[in-house]
Structure 1
């Protein structure tokens, strides 16, 4: 059951949900949220840091999926009036990238939460372009501990 009343598209609100800032913001819309799943979109702009020859490169696809996971954690903190925590990718496995999207296209990424314990989130995700799955992976993200240095 989608706990999100309506899509979140306002950039200021998105920035409250993730710790990333320009030029590395890789989500433009939060489209779905429940306790086991989150979904986002990204419209690919030519100014995107990961765009080369009008295509979003592999690291951009991976970062988009990671920031979708960050949206999951960030929205949970946001609805509880807490600041979104910082985190990082701990591991990626089973990654398969079939196609690179182009400038102007909109990615749709859905992430299923497999396990969440002590700041570590294990997910299975897929990214679609016009309904076609162009990337899938399992990812482990880790929340930065308060006493951890930059």
Structure 2
């Protein structure tokens, strides 16, 4: 997938995460039912060990990619000071097939399976070029917190 500057969506408008826990660089496509994200692995990432992005990093990246589907409803107005908190409530399935290295750019595609209020179940796959790295089915809970 070619990254075109004019098509990139600022991830900060859809996720509460910030450095060093932000594991998504860009949202390439976002609808109420699906999302596609990208992330470049850097040497200073907290989930890099021996120049590889470890499994915990892949899982966190999958969760952040997935949560942007549910999170978008909280961040419809980019000017607001909305604060949210989110949790992984269940991981139904994880299959890890590979580990990207420093300098690699991974692409994740997630789709909504089901949603009830602020809880959703999402299927996500992450790729390095055409190689499938991880497949997850994850449940998430997100809620707005009072300031």
TM-score (norm 1): 0.84
* Structure 1 vs Structure 2 CA RMSD: 1.8
Q: Which runs of 5+ in 1 are unaligned?
A: none
Q: Hey, what's the Cα distance between the residues in 1 that align with 2:143 and 2:74?
A: 14
Q: What is residue 94 of structure 2 aligned with on the other side?
A: 95
Relative to its length, the structure with more strand (as a share) is 2
Are the counterparts in 1 of residues 83 and 144 from structure 2 also a CA contact under 8 Å? Answer: no
Q: Hey, what's the Cα distance between the residues in 2 that align with 1:136 and 1:111?
A: 10
Q: After superposition, where does 1:1-150 map in structure 2 within 5 Å?
A: 6-8=7-9, 13-81=10-78, 83=82, 85-144=84-143, 146=145
- In structure 2, relative to structure 1, the CA distance for the partners of 1:74 and 1:143 (3 Å cut) is closer
What is the number of residues matched between the two proteins? 139
- In structure 2, relative to structure 1, the CA distance for the partners of 1:31 and 1:84 (3 Å cut) is farther
After the TM superposition, which parts of structure 1 deviate over 6 Å for at least 4 consecutive aligned residues?
Answer: none
Q: Which runs of 5+ in 2 are unaligned?
A: 1-5
TM-score (norm 2): 0.86
Secondary structure of 1:92's counterpart equals: strand
Q: Hey, what's the Cα distance between the residues in 1 that align with 2:34 and 2:13?
A: 19
Are the counterparts in 1 of residues 71 and 142 from structure 2 also a CA contact under 8 Å? Answer: no
Q: Hey, what's the Cα distance between the residues in 2 that align with 1:109 and 1:71?
A: 12
Are the counterparts in 1 of residues 62 and 108 from structure 2 also a CA contact under 8 Å? Answer: yes
